[in-house]
Amino acid sequence: MREIVLTLREVTKRFPAPGGAVEALRGISLELAAGEFVAITGPSGSGKSTLLHVAALLEPPTSGEAWLDGENVAHLSERELARRRGEKIGMIFQKFCLLPHRSVLDNVLFRFRYLGGTRRPSRAGRLRFIQRVRPTADGFAPEQLARAALETVGLRDRMEHTARLLSGGEMQRVAIARAIALPPRLLAADEPTGNLDRTAAEGVMECLHVLNRRGVTILLVTHNEALLRHCSRHLRLEDGRIVS
């Protein structure tokens, strides 16, 4: 029996606008099983990023149901959504969103500081790369997880480097490490190669492919259909609907 990480049922999303509400999503239904690598493509304005943001708990649906790890999260409060997002979602953005004057390691550790700084995760065994890290009596220390995540994305020798001195591809790898340092149930990537050249983009996609082989469930938005070979399933959106 498949383990389902994410379920959306008849989800709609409307945004207010001067000329009337804009319907970005129209009756979206999908299931995402553990270990899948699913890509979302479609023309500009089709609802790709909105769908990803609903799946990643950044935006609540206007109507419909959203289930994460068996919990209906569609009507949780902002505070509750933020907590679930911090615990279960890893997010990668097109623009990296790093602290440019801090070290690579500090940038990854920021994920734990956002959660309060004292959290010692006990769910880290979900990912095989964490098996090299020995837990403390009350869980895994944040710095252990941050260093293991950076090693996983090939930045073992860059941990003490200042983030602004890295290449674009390396910056995106730091962002990936930050997203997986607290092992997520879902890794949501919004155009992660959009600011990269072809070589760097392939490197980032290969990194995501390796993580997927190690058990990470990934939902990816991309405009570059040449990258779809890395994915196990492809959804195409048009006018807020899944058409294939």
**What would the 3-class secondary structure string for the chain be?**
CCCEEEEEEEEEEEECCCCCCEEEEEEEEEEEECCCEEEEECCCCCCHHHHHHHHCCCCCCCEEEEEECCEECCCCCHHHHHHHHHHHEEEECCCCCCCCCCEHHHHHHHHHHHCCCCCCCCCHHHCHHHHHCCCECCECCHHHHHHHHHHHCCCHHHCCCEHHHCCHHHHHHHHHHHHHCCCCCEEEEECCCCCCCHHHHHHHHHHHHHHHHCCCCEEEECCCHHHHHHCCEEEEEECCEECC
In terms of Cα–Cα distance, which of 73, 58, 56 is closest to 9?
A: 73
> What is the pLDDT averaged over residues 171-187?
91
- Per-residue confidence (pLDDT) for residue 122, from 0 to 100: 45
Whether residue 113 is predicted with pLDDT greater than 80 in this model: the reply is no
Query: Contact at 8 Å (CB) between 7 and 18?
Result: no
pLDDT in tens, 132-175: 445 444 466 788 889 989 998 889 999 999 999 999 999 999 99
- Per-residue confidence (pLDDT) for residue 115, from 0 to 100: 61
pLDDT in tens, 9-64: 999 999 998 988 899 999 999 999 999 999 999 999 999 999 999 999 999 999 99
> What is the pLDDT averaged over residues 73-84?
89
Pick the CATH number of 4-99+167-242 from 3.40.630.30, 3.30.565.10, 3.40.50.300, 3.40.50.460: 3.40.50.300
Instruction: Return left, alpha or beta for 5; rule: phi > 0 is left, psi -120 to 50 is alpha, else beta.
Output: alpha
